[in-house]
Amino acid sequence: MRYRSLGSTGNKVSILSLGGSALGSVYRETNLDDSIAVVQESIKAGINLIDAAPWYGHGKAEEVLGKAFAGVPRESFYYNTKVCRYNAEPLEMFDFRAERTLQV
């Protein structure tokens, strides 16, 4: 796996990342054990940049990742997420308030 510097942080991230939308069953229903295996095998293969968002399965992807990260050394991956898109209703889809971002 090749890595690149993440700005001036000193962190090295893989040139490939694992996108979490499928973990949230965005495209089709997924199996929890299979999803966990995908995440863990990706990390073992050197992919250390993992992406998700609350929008992916309305929190399901983040729940799957929480379970997949259990027992994985924290220094072996970087997790990035997006915020502000939570609701399927177009007029209520986005919420940019800091309070909502911090809400579980």
Three-class secondary structure assignment of 1-54: CCEEECCCCCCEEECCEEECCHHHCCCCCCCHHHHHHHHHHHHHCCCCEEEECC
Residue 87: the pLDDT is: 83
To the query of whether residue 79 is one of the catalytic residues in this protein, the response is no
Residue 103: the pLDDT is: 82
Residue 104: the pLDDT is: 65
The tens-digit pLDDT sequence of the chain (104 residues) is 999 999 999 999 999 999 999 999 999 999 999 999 999 999 999 999 999 998 999 889 999 999 999 989 999 999 998 888 888 888 888 999 999 888 86
Q: Are 35 and 64 in contact (CB under 8 A)?
A: yes
Query: How many Å apart are CA 100 and CA 98, to the nearest integer?
Result: 5
* From 56, 78, 79, 86, the catalytic residue: 56
Say what the pTM is. Answer: 0.85
Query: How many Å apart are CA 36 and CA 82, to the nearest integer?
Result: 21
Domains and CATH numbers, the chain: 3-102 (3.20.20.100)
